[in-house]
Structure 1
């Protein structure tokens, strides 16, 4: 009863203030888990009929308010956190205005699940600024059917609108992905140093991981100019991802977080580094087992300036890692450091869930520079 009164009061505030922006802090967005329900007078069954019926959100198109355990044909719908979520029909969207700091970087994360088995995607955007991306959701990387996705942006002003949109055109207009647990995190991109030319080589800076994200957070492929939710790193792929994992739910070689290569050769973890042609460099990194039931042995390959090394991870038990190293001579002023898993791996629980080796604690240092005579030549 107290919760209902609080939500009703919040709904009045939202309707009166229309789309007034709320200052955000790291963690869930206002009503980001959708536990504060819509006004019952603006509902038709599970369909939400009022644009501002869901507190703190504006909706467009066919949006359903889903309860965990709700029946859809022969399927029982579940939600990843709490008891409620929303489902987006064809061309439907939800959006929320946020107060941010102009020029700062932010990562947004949310959980999503398919409901009808078809190939689906979600389009995320932030305006003003025109930053937008399509997140592929056709591959499921967790055994429970839910995945958490991350996406990042640079704030173009102090008030922005975040939109999650289902651009699908399915036979059933109500058939679309379920969305829940929307959260934000301020990013502070690390800089390269003499002790490590790689930015964020320990992967400690990344998207929000809450206690509810027991399956990690997916970092999607991105173009060269996109803002990365994993500062310093690019994800090069057509439609696959890497998984950002934490030590609370996975085995991590060092520190709090690492990256699991869950998509085999279809995805590469890449960073471009300033180098001096003719100088020698040493790349070191940890390749490990995330302790998520992945079959071993697993392999990781590292590439830089024509050099390559392969590290095999043998894990007789949960966790464990092996150190790898690659020495190379730079041939250009910019050198790409690339990590990739050459094989495809699945959990040994029979679920068919993709997994892979983790990368952590990566460093790159210059070990020798060309002599003056060589520079003159």
Structure 2
């Protein structure tokens, strides 16, 4: 009898222990960090390499490949072309219709995640990478080069429907030479937490502090490519509307940021719009305020005057803000007062010109510290008429 009582007393303690374990398992999500062998520094066995061609499906540790995939070392030459590697000593090249994939475990269902990776063109002209997780898939155009190194880092976001998913990167390009595919390197993942509205701001993530993973020490920023409106944005709830061009997510460690630690550089002129939809009341007046300026990356503006022009739209209102840039940073403030005409108002930012740095790469004005508030109009007091 005494032994049975002891067993009964142990049950609550056992249940409590299980509850703690389950809670720990539920909160132990995948960390914001590079993926296992995300920089491909763990090499295939030499027996599974034919020159640079990877012959085994599982030859690259933590990855599975399909099609013509090459393992490229820094300084590798293809004809007269030198193939640089952005981080470490090795990268992977995807040939025609080739793909590489990795299983991601430890995700939290319903949570949004951003994938960051770097890519570079080689000898093909119109290169596209298809990035897929489960049923979500997007084509990232990489033919436009934004960094002088030839390497750009891209971001892409998805919502986890399971605790374990498979990330697939597939080269959609077809070239006569299968060795003309893009180089890829440096994969990382980050959990995205839904931004909340600030106390005095109807916009979410107006300071752009919530965004994709950025590699420490990387001077290139991270490109946020165009997306369908149903996709989850790495800059949620901001969306990038374009056909083939991107905006650049930059940090205060390498760029001049008007406020906080991050901002957005509009590097694609009129081909790209940065937008967010905000609930509004028709007939009510609102005020949109923002910082527009230079990223301090040598972008000196368009023309002799070095002017950068940002145009903001909301409802039927618009405003142009000009900043005279010398390439060393700085910003000015823009204000737009408008009257809502619908239950939802789209806030839009565009750069009004294409700007290039002296090295020939695209650049543009930075946008930061965006806020929107209701404007309360004081009505004049009624005068009382006195009988004479």
Q: Quote the residue 2:75 is aligned against.
A: 69
1:208 is paired with a residue of what secondary structure?
coil
Correspondence for 2:88 among 82, 85, 89: 82
Q: Quote the residue 2:362 is aligned against.
A: 354
User: Deviation above 3 Å: which 4+ runs of structure 1?
Assistant: none
Q: Quote the residue 2:49 is aligned against.
A: 43
Greater CA radius of gyration, 1 or 2?
2
- Superposed counterparts of 1:219-234, under 5 Å: 219-234=224-239
Extract unaligned runs of 5+ from structure 2: 1-27, 301-305, 380-388
Deviations 1:80-137 (A, max 9, x none): 001100000011111000111110010001000011041101110002xx10000001
Extract unaligned runs of 5+ from structure 1: 1-21, 372-377
Find the aligned partners of 1:175 and 1:149 in 2 and give their Cα distance.
20
Deviation at 1:316, TM superposition (A): 4.0
- Superposed counterparts of 1:106-117, under 5 Å: 106-117=113-124
Q: Quote the residue 2:5 is aligned against.
A: none
1:41 is paired with a residue of what secondary structure?
helix
Find the aligned partners of 1:142 and 1:175 in 2 and give their Cα distance.
20
Q: Quote the residue 1:363 is aligned against.
A: 371
Q: Quote the residue 1:19 is aligned against.
A: none
Q: Quote the residue 1:182 is aligned against.
A: 187
Find the aligned partners of 1:213 and 1:148 in 2 and give their Cα distance.
9
CA contact (8 A) 2:118 2:154 kept: yes
Q: Quote the residue 1:304 is aligned against.
A: 314
CA contact (8 A) 1:279 1:370 kept: no
Task: State the Cα RMSD in Å.
Answer: 1.5
Q: Quote the residue 1:96 is aligned against.
A: 102
Correspondence for 2:133 among 107, 116, 126: 126
Deviations 1:197-253 (A, max 9, x none): 111000000001112421110000011100000111010101100000000111000
Deviations 1:175-199 (A, max 9, x none): 2000000011110121224511111
- Superposed counterparts of 1:280-291, under 5 Å: 280-291=285-296
- Superposed counterparts of 1:233-248, under 5 Å: 233-248=238-253
Correspondence for 1:192 among 189, 194, 197: 197
Q: 1:317 to 1:87 in 2, by over 3 A?
A: closer
CA contact (8 A) 2:251 2:262 kept: yes
CA contact (8 A) 1:289 1:318 kept: yes
Find the aligned partners of 2:178 and 2:164 in 1 and give their Cα distance.
32
Find the aligned partners of 2:160 and 2:218 in 1 and give their Cα distance.
25
- Superposed counterparts of 1:142-181, under 5 Å: 142-181=147-186
Moved more, 131-140 or 292-301: 292-301
Find the aligned partners of 1:328 and 1:140 in 2 and give their Cα distance.
37
Correspondence for 2:339 among 323, 329, 336: 329
1:277 is paired with a residue of what secondary structure?
coil
Deviations 1:259-284 (A, max 9, x none): 00000000000000000011110000
Find the aligned partners of 1:75 and 1:198 in 2 and give their Cα distance.
47
Q: Quote the residue 1:268 is aligned against.
A: 273
2:200 is paired with a residue of what secondary structure?
coil
Deviation at 1:369, TM superposition (A): 7.7
Find the aligned partners of 1:122 and 1:212 in 2 and give their Cα distance.
25
Q: TM-score, normalised by structure 2?
A: 0.87
Find the aligned partners of 1:147 and 1:36 in 2 and give their Cα distance.
22
Equivalent pairs counted in the alignment come to 346
CA contact (8 A) 1:94 1:164 kept: yes
Find the aligned partners of 1:133 and 1:69 in 2 and give their Cα distance.
31
